[in-house]
């Protein structure tokens, strides 16, 4: 069953090109959603400018002002609820989130990661892929669980590693695929085509029905 337009809360730390891709997809009517609030842990994140340029409410929550991750996440949850958010997107959000956030939005916290998980979780996906010598890299969109980049996978897109690639060049090509994969995954959620099954044994699995 279709969920209807998603009320998105987008968490960012940096440049916000994935946020821009979400705005672009909404404006192109490829994504049935509205960004209700953009939250950054960094005051200087350029993503905030992108939100302001569209009149979208922004909020800076500095993680350093909190005693621990749970207290930080509790404040994030408060702001997300204030804006009636139904689905949370981690779009270049460089903090590890806790069950405080995850349990507040069950199966509705989505992360985009610049590697083909489960390879190369963490903060330097493209550089690690390059250092390992893989020939195919890419990005992953997944639901967030209690681990770091371990949650059930919604979508992945691959990128060939080119001879002479450095981490920045590879990351830039992966980013292009993120900008496709993330809005598409969100639209699949909006259309009610994404199901998470939790078998008694083994990992939870996501099924994305085609249209
Ligand atoms: C993206 O490549 C995203 O996958 C990555 O940070 C970049 C943010 O770009 N996230 C992580 O590495 C999370 N572990 P953006 O701010 O331009 O969207």
Q: State residue 13 phi and psi, 5-degree precision.
A: -135, -15
CA of 94 to the centre of ligand 1 (A): 8
Q: Please enumerate, as own/partner, the contacts of 52-59 that have beta carbons within 8 Å and a separation of 24 or more.
A: 54/23, 57/83
Q: How many domains does the chain have?
A: 1
**Residue 144 near residue 151, CB atoms below 8 Å:** yes
pTM of this structure: 0.97
Integer Cα distance of 115 and 86 in angstroms: 26
Residue 211, domain member (yes or no): no
Which structural domain, as residue segments, surrounds residue 92? 6-203
Q: What pLDDT, on the 0 to 100 scale, is given for residue 2?
A: 74
Q: Is residue 210 part of a domain?
A: no
pLDDT given for residue 4 in this prediction:
75
pLDDT tens digits along 167-209: 999 999 999 999 999 999 999 999 999 999 999 999 999 999 9
Instruction: Tell whether 208 is covered by a domain.
Output: no
Which of 91, 140, 155 for a ligand 1 pocket mutation test, highest count of atoms within 8 Å of Cβ? 91
Percent of the chain past pLDDT 90, that is, above it, reads 98
CA dist 74 and 101 (Å) reads 7
118 located within any domain: yes
> What is the reported pLDDT for 1?
65
- The answer, yes or no, to whether any atom of ligand 1 lies below 6 A from the CB of 113, is yes
Could you identify the residue written with the tokens 């099924």? 207
CATH number for 132: 3.40.50.170
């Amino acid at each position: 069953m279709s969920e209807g337009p998603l009320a998105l809360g987008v968490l960012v730390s940096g440049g916000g090109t994935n946020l821009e891709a979400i705005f672009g997809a909404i404006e192109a009517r490829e994504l049935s959603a509205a960004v209700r609030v953009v939250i950054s842990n960094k005051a200087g994140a350029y993503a905030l400018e992108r939100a302001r340029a569209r009149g979208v409410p922004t909020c800076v929550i500095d993680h350093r002002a909190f005693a621990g991750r749970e207290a930080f996440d509790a404040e994030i949850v408060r702001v997300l609820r204030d804006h009636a958010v139904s689905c949370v997107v981690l779009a270049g959000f460089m903090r590890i989130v806790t069950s405080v956030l995850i349990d507040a939005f069950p199966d509705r916290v989505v992360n985009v990661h610049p590697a083909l998980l489960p390879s190369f979780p963490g903060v330097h996906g493209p550089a690690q892929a390059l250092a390992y010598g893989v020939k195919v890299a890419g990005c992953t969109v997944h639901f967030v669980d209690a681990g770091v980049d371990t949650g059930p996978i919604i979508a992945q897109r691959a990128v060939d590693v080119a001879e002479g690639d450095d981490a920045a060049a590879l990351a830039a090509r992966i980013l292009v695929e993120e900008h496709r994969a993330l809005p598409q995954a969100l639209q699949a959620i909006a259309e009610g085509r994404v199901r998470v099954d939790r078998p008694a044994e083994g990992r939870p699995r996501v099924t994305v029905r085609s249209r």
